[in-house]
Chains A and B, each alone.
Chain A
Amino acid sequence: MRVLLVEDDSRIAAFVAKGLRENSYAVDIAIDGDEATYMASINLYDLFVLDINLPGKDGFEVCCELRENGNTKPILMLTARDAIDDRISGLDIGADDYLTKPFEFRELLARLRALSRRQSEFRAPKIVIADLEVDTISQNVIRAGKQIELTAKEYSLIEFLAVNRGRVVGREEISEHVWDDSFDPFSNLIEVYIKRLRTKLDEDFGTQLIHTRRGVGYILDDA
């Protein structure tokens, strides 16, 4: 899951990004409205976390612009203002959810999960493929009843494959959704992570679930 965090206050951006990254999100930070719309135009984000008080273009305008440009990804507004009018206008111009500062970080995570589930075909918080279970809430991965220890990035990758189960996802798509702006497109990082996942998930179990489609990408499927 790749998130664009739009927040001008560096102190808030720092802990939100840190917390999200530790929960397997790829996070880019934009510090004002113009940067946010620019970044949204060059990258494919799965979620937006948008502060309302921004220098220059404010959060409402950014939200409007995203929707006008045909972006349908979930937008969660984050603000220190809790006036009802703000909430209503935020939701009316296309935001999907609203969270007031200060907030419980777990609540932010839960809301982001709920928002991303709404986008995916798999609405259940737990995705099951053959004997593989991916629990998107606890971020636990279980194969044949055995818990698999994964790093945040590894989980993020397997979750992305699981959400897109049965569909071939390309390298570019993976880098867009699992890695943030710092991803070097010429590195073989994706291959490295796929290899690690195979070692942890496929090797000791009979059937192979992660398949390579040469020249196209990868697919998670039980056949």
Chain B
Amino acid sequence: MLDSIRIRLTIWYLTVLALVMIAFAALAYVSILRVLTRETDNNLVEMAENFTAEVQSHQRDEGETLEKKFSDEIGEFHFRDYHFVVYDTAGRRLASSVDNDDLQTSLDNIATGGLVAPAFFDLAAGDDNLRVYRTPLLVRPGRYQLFIVLSLEDQHAISGGVVSVFLVAVPLALILSGLGGYFLARKSLFPVAQMSSRAANISAANLDDRLPVNNPNDELGRLAIVLNALLNRLESSFEQQRRFMADASHELRTPLAIVRGESEVALSKDSRTVQEYQESLRIVNDESRCLTEIVEGLFTLARADAGELKANVREVYLDELVADCVRSIRTLADRRNIKIEFSSEETTIKGDEALLRRLLLNLFDNAVKYNIDGGKIGIKLADNTVTVSNTGEEIGRDHEELIFDRFYRIEKNRSHKHETLTSGAGLGLSIAKRIAELHNAEIVYRRSADGENIFEISFPR
């Protein structure tokens, strides 16, 4: 049960709240006690002043003893809770309204200490707690000690009442705020429950489903947005994977179908002319080569994906390599009357020559393959960047993102029209991209303002 964030939040909240409330109650209790004590002390002082004034204002009658005078005065100051005791400076009791013997004895003992400055002290007598004010009493011509005793019963009743209010109020407040906290936690965590139940239902089959976003500005809303973005990425890579599978199966099945069909048809008749057999064998041979290229291309990509395609890095004269590759495609280009404009500057980079050759051939080959008859190809090497432009048809915004995907072809049948150097299986650009990545180079496509397709590979310096 403690695993639930809701419960844990509530418990934390309650613990903190309980500590705060207990501290508050304690502080309140102490403050109330202090206020009450000060009030008591003020009353005692006031009482002492009144008593002193009273005693001083009445001149002693002739023959009247001092004891008698004090007793009379005390008798006049007869309050329920206040008791007065007067001692002389030697501690001899002159008059008293105290009716408790224990208290009287305690006070007598204290009074023997003689005259002191005004002071308060607490005294316990039996089960009664008392506050005592001791002050000098000046009555011409002598000096005396005055003790005023006040029972703290009322004060204790008040503070006891405060305590019992706290004892009821604090737990009650804790229970109420615990419930409130629990519901609040539940309410604020409700989107999480919602998200988790929705997320539990998302699988490969309904990857287009998304988590609900209740409030895009709060923390949970942002979490949902982040998770949805993750789902978007998953969905698109899933889609890419699915397309790859479909395309791979198509690209592999087609040559297989031709090999099988062609040979089966050729064998279905007992005898054919030599030319017929040769034609069939030529077709079978072409298709086997095509299959080999696809399989090798896939193998290269798989090794690159698995991180096994290690570039055999050394110094490569890129200008010579480019020139060499240009020579390789010239025949193909000439056959279709495509002009090649080539310029380069001396460039050396670190790289794997065989892989780089493949990259360049793939790009150049595409430049011929997707060109128009009598078109133009521009190949330029400058600033560590190979730029390949061709006058082929526009690739189109829809396809730009996808041309580097495996087996992606804009028109499924286009590459069979023309003779090519490399595999026409739609792997050329994917392989080129992987090789570029291995060399920390960047390969980008753009359409130039004057209507040419431009591929640029920038090698790091």
Contacts and interface: CB of A to CB of B under 8 A. Distances in A.
Interface string B265-307: 1001100000000000001000100000000000000000000
B411 A12 contact: no
Contacts, number: 70
A103 B261 contact: yes
Contacts of A53: 250, 412
A214 interface: no
B272 to A, nearest CB: 10
Interface magnitude class on chain A: 20 to 34
B416 A106 contact: no
Contacts of B261: 12, 15-16, 19, 102-103, 105
Given A9-B416, A81-B246, A15 B265 contact: yes
A55 B254 CA distance: 16
A14 B257 CA distance: 12
Contacts of B260: 102-105
A82 B259 CA distance: 19
Contacts of B265: 15, 18-19, 22, 105
A9 B424 CA distance: 13
B332 interface: no
B264 interface: yes
Contact of A102 (B253, B269, B411, B412): B253
Contacts of B254: 9, 12, 80, 101
A137 B351 CA distance: 62
A55 B412 contact: yes
Contacts of B269: 22
Contact of B258 (A15, A22, A81): A15
B206 interface: no
Contacts of A188: none
A33 to B, nearest CB: 12
Contacts of B256: 101-102
Given A22-B268, A22-B269, A55 B411 contact: yes
A182 interface: no
Contacts of A12: 254, 257-258, 261
Contacts of A16: 261
A97 interface: no
B253 A15 contact: no
Contact of B257 (A80, A81, A106): A80
Interface in A1-39: 8-12, 14-16, 18-19, 22
Interface of A: 8-12, 14-16, 18-19, 22, 53, 55, 80-83, 100-106
Interface of B: 246, 249-250, 253-254, 256-262, 264-265, 268-269, 283, 287, 411-413, 416
Given A19-B268, A55-B413, A105-B264, 14 more contacts: A8-B412, A9-B413, A11-B262, A11-B287, A12-B254, A15-B265, A80-B250, A80-B253, A80-B254, A81-B246, A102-B256, A103-B260, A105-B261, A106-B264
